[in-house]
Structure formats: C-alpha cells, structure tokens
C-alpha cells in the first residue's frame, strides 16, 4: 500500500498490527521512525525495506539497501529488540539533534535540486554559510548543567544520521542510553574540514567535540531551534530526551557478537 503522509503510514501500520499482521515499511528513516515509535511496547515486530535518502537505521542494523537482500532478511525472520527514543512526547529511532543540525536538516528537507546522499553535504554547506554560534545548556541525568557556546548537540540512540554520518559512533541500539555529542565553538573553516571525518566517526578526536552518555538529556539554548530526528522535525527546544529500553522488535540480522 502506498502511503500519503506520515500519519497515514502510522495508521495503516497500526491497523495491520491489530489484525495480526507484521508491518513492513519500504521508506526512509522518517516513516520508519514514526511507525517504529507507534509499535513500541506492542510486541509487534516491524520489517524494513530501505527506500529513502538516508536509510541510517537499516544501515546500522545490517539490512541491505537492495530489495532482494532486504526481503531475504525478512524471510529469515530474525528479530532484535531495540530502544526507542523520546523527545518531549515524540518518539524516534535515530539521532535527535539541534543547533547547526536544525538548519541543515531544514535545508535538506526543502531541497529538490540535489538528489541522494549528496543532499546532506549540500545542506551542511548552505547552513554553514549563514551560521552563527549559539549558547546551549545540557543536563545529563542528575548532573550539573553543562553550558557552552558552539554548534550543536546530538543525542544518538543510533550511531548514524544524514546518510551514513557516524555522529555517535559508540551508540548502541539496545543499551537504554543516549550518546550525546557536543560540538563547541570553532572557526567555520575548521568545522568544514571536520565534516568528512563524521562519515568515519573520527571527528571525536577533535578537541571541540565532546562525547557524553546518559539515560536522560535536557537541552535548551539562547535562541529558538527545532529538534530533528530521523530526518523529521519532532519538537522545539527546550527538550527532554530519554529512551524506552528495548521497546521495539525489528526484523534484522543478528547483532554482532
């Protein structure tokens, strides 16, 4: 069935689950994330056939991006339990981020002249040209707030976003924690040089990048930012992020030992 919107897709998946079926989503991370959030806690598994620009959840789960390979995974029927992120009252499966990432996500979603994964690089360059640093406040669990001036805060349930950018390379999909990546103020040229490193996860070596981990993350800033996850705008700052541990069953290859 071809869906007409995120809400329509979620409604059809819920209907299939209620009728004893297994929803299989052929789409990108946006629809996959929303349907996965809706199925969390129901015990109904979700299948994935990658069909979007990013496909980052499928990438990290090891689901092939070709239909024949992904259908073979479905036929094998192996299930994994993964965490579901929560941003205020909205659910997600990937990486929730704000700040510079808010601007880049908005530009990527509005872009029609660039196709495929190149849209994310194009969006980052466009966002960087107009960017000015912001002051963020981040509270992890019950610790004292961390206040800094810089580019962004990303909280990863998954390791990757933006079509293979491993922004949170140590994040695990089933540990009940969010890997928090903070990028402090640095010159635009240095920031630009660091973007290719994110595809390898080696950006953590840069002194302006800090890796943290927590079960609950609160983020605010000195100006308005949208919070994006799975390529979709979920909410706005201030935001409280957490996870529903192993709340979703997905049909995927077994997790690496």
195-226 pLDDT tens trace: 999 999 999 999 999 999 999 999 999 999 99
CA distance 151 to 148: 9
Tell whether the torsion through CA atoms of 173, 70, 4 and 53 is positive or negative. Answer: positive
Are both 32 and 76 inside the same structural domain? yes
In CATH, what number is assigned to the domain containing residue 60?
Answer: 3.40.50.10330
CA dist 243 and 254 (Å) reads: 22
Split at pLDDT 50, 70, 90, the class of 108 is confident
> In terms of domains, do 40 and 115 share one?
no
Domain identity same for 82 and 108: no
Rounded Cα gap, residues 173 and 111, in angstroms? 30
Q: Are 180 and 211 in contact (CB under 8 A)?
A: yes
CB 96 within 8 A of CB 214: no
With a cut of 70, say whether residue 230 has pLDDT above it: yes
Query: In 3D, which of 188, 239, 223, 233 has the Cα closest to residue 99?
Result: 223
Note whether residue 66 is domain-resident. Answer: yes
Q: Is residue 256 part of a domain?
A: no
pLDDT tens-place string over residues 137-194: 999 998 999 999 999 999 999 999 988 999 999 999 999 999 999 999 999 999 999 9
- Whether 257 maps to a domain, the answer reads no
Q: What is the pLDDT at residue 256? A: 77
Residue 30 lies in a domain: yes
Listed range (32-41, 91-100, 108-117, 130-139) with the worst mean pLDDT: 108-117
Q: For residue 145, is it within any domain?
A: yes
Judge if 213 and 231 occupy the same domain.
yes
Indicate whether 207 belongs to any domain: yes
Angle at 101 between CA 91 and CA 206, to 5 degrees: 115
Give the H/E segment covering residue 196.
Answer: helix 188-198
Q: Is residue 119 part of a domain?
A: yes
Domain holding 164, by residue range, is 90-241
Tell me the backbone φ, ψ of residue 142, rounded to 5 degrees: -105, 20
Instruction: Report the number of distinct structural domains present in the chain.
Output: 2
CATH of the domain at 183: 2.60.200.40
Asked whether residue 52 falls in the same domain as residue 153, the answer is no
* pLDDT(116) > 60: no
What's the whole-model pTM score? 0.93
The SS3 assignment for 121 reads: helix
The span from the CA of 42 to the CA of 83, in Å, is 13
Lowest-confidence segment of 5-14, 52-61, 104-113 by average pLDDT: 104-113
- Write the DSSP string, 159-179: S-BTTTB-SSTT--TTSS-EE
Indicate whether 167 belongs to any domain.
Answer: yes
């Amino acid at each position: 069935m071809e869906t007409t919107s995120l809400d329509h897709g979620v409604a059809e998946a819920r209907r299939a689950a209620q009728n004893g079926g297994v929803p299989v989503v052929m789409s990108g991370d946006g629809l996959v994330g929303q349907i996965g959030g809706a199925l969390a806690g129901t015990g109904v598994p979700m299948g994935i056939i990658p069909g979007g620009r990013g496909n980052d959840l499928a990438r990290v789960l090891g689901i092939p991006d070709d239909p024949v390979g992904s259908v073979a995974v479905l036929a094998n029927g192996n299930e994994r339990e993964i965490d579901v992120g929560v941003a205020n009252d909205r659910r997600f499966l990937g990486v929730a981020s704000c700040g510079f990432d808010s601007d880049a996500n908005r530009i990527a979603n509005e872009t029609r002249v660039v196709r495929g994964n190149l849209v994310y690089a194009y969006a980052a360059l466009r966002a960087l040209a107009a960017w000015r640093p912001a002051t963020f406040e981040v509270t992890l669990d019950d610790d004292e707030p961390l206040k800094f001036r810089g580019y962004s805060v990303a909280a990863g349930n998954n390791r990757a976003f933006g079509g293979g950018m491993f922004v949170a390379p140590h994040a695990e999909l089933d540990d009940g924690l969010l890997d928090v990546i903070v990028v402090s103020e640095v010159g635009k040229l240095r920031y630009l040089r660091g973007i290719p490193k994110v595809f390898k996860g080696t950006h953590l070596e840069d002194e302006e990048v800090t890796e943290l981990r927590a079960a609950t993350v609160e983020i605010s800033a000195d100006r308005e930012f949208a919070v994006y996850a799975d390529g979709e705008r979920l909410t706005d700052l201030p935001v409280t992020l957490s996870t529903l541990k192993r709340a979703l069953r997905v049909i995927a290859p077994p997790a690496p030992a």
